């Protein structure tokens, strides 16, 4: 049984990832910053199925919160797998996004990821093994108008993934990323059905992605079947925007 730490675990993608690992018999730590009720509800759902699940206060923007969270995980053996899923989007014209908002987008998406990785490595490096999967975005690869800061932050996550994989490879630690396209999560609730249908039509596979599509990709990258795969960005996007 491995210890799987998932940030943003109560969200659409995070909860699907959490359920996948729990169903595989792994011990899951459900990191949350503001969604305590949702994280605890997910914890109780998984425990009712006989799984080991722990709602874990984990604000990736707060160094003290990150330190405390990973210290709690070390009491049960330390992190074996880290899924950096916590994210923050930002819509708006580039010149209309103020410095505070822009900084928050980078703090959650990029700085939060590197902060959690550093904490997880305290357990992984002594073991000379571990897996890190960062959730990025198709916009980090191709860019998106009116989501410039989000695109830039996710592009940073891609650079972080590729460089860190080379640095950590000799220590037996693999680092990859999953790059979702348009995924049907609560983040899309702001769009009407006509817009969602248009997005589906713009996707060559003819549909929107699901959280489970992303979770399955994450699960593969963390499995023995991917033991020789590192520094890769796996698109889960139906060829949207390619």
Q: Given 32, 54, 139, 150, which residue is catalytic?
A: 150
For residue 176, give both structure tokens: 């990859």
Whether this model's pTM surpasses 0.75 = yes
- 33 contacts 59 by C-beta, under 8 angstroms: yes
The C-alpha atoms of residue 24 and residue 39 are separated, in whole angstroms, by: 19
C-alpha radius of gyration, the chain, whole number: 17
- 24, 86, 117 from 157: Cα distances, Å: 27, 12, 12
pLDDT at site 189: 81
Interval 176-186: pLDDT, tens: 999 999 999 88
Average pLDDT value for the chain: 96
Domains, the chain: 3-236 (3.40.50.720)
- 132 contacts 175 by C-beta, under 8 angstroms: yes
Interval 104-162: pLDDT, tens: 999 999 999 999 999 999 999 999 999 999 999 999 999 899 999 999 999 999 999 99
Longest dimension (CA), the chain: 52
Interval 6-38: pLDDT, tens: 999 999 999 999 999 999 999 999 999 999 999
The C-alpha atoms of residue 114 and residue 146 are separated, in whole angstroms, by: 25
Residue 150 a catalytic site member? yes
């Amino acid at each position: 049984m491995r210890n799987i730490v998932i940030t943003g675990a109560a969200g659409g993608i995070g909860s699907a990832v959490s359920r996948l690992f729990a169903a595989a018999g792994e011990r899951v730590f459900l990191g949350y910053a503001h969604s305590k009720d949702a994280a605890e509800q997910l914890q109780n759902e998984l425990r009712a199925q006989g799984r080991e699940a722990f709602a874990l206060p984990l604000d990736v923007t707060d160094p003290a919160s990150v330190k405390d969270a990973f210290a709690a995980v070390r009491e049960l053996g330390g992190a074996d797998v880290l899924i950096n899923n916590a994210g923050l989007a930002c819509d708006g014209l580039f010149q209309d996004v103020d410095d505070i908002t822009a900084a928050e987008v980078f703090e959650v998406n990029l700085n939060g990821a590197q902060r959690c990785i550093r904490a997880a490595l305290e357990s992984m490096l002594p073991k000379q093994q571990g897996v890190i999967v960062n959730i990025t975005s198709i916009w980090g690869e191709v860019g998106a108008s009116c989501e410039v800061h989000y695109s830039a932050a996710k592009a940073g996550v891609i650079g972080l993934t590729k460089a860190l994989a080379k640095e950590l490879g000799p220590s037996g630690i693999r680092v990859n990323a999953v790059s979702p396209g348009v995924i049907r999560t609560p983040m899309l609730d702001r769009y009407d059905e006509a817009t969602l249908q248009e997005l589906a039509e713009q996707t060559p596979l003819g549909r929107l992605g699901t959280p489970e599509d992303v979770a399955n990709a994450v699960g593969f990258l963390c499995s023995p079947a991917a033991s020789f795969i590192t520094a890769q960005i796996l698109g889960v996007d139906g060829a949207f925007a390619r």
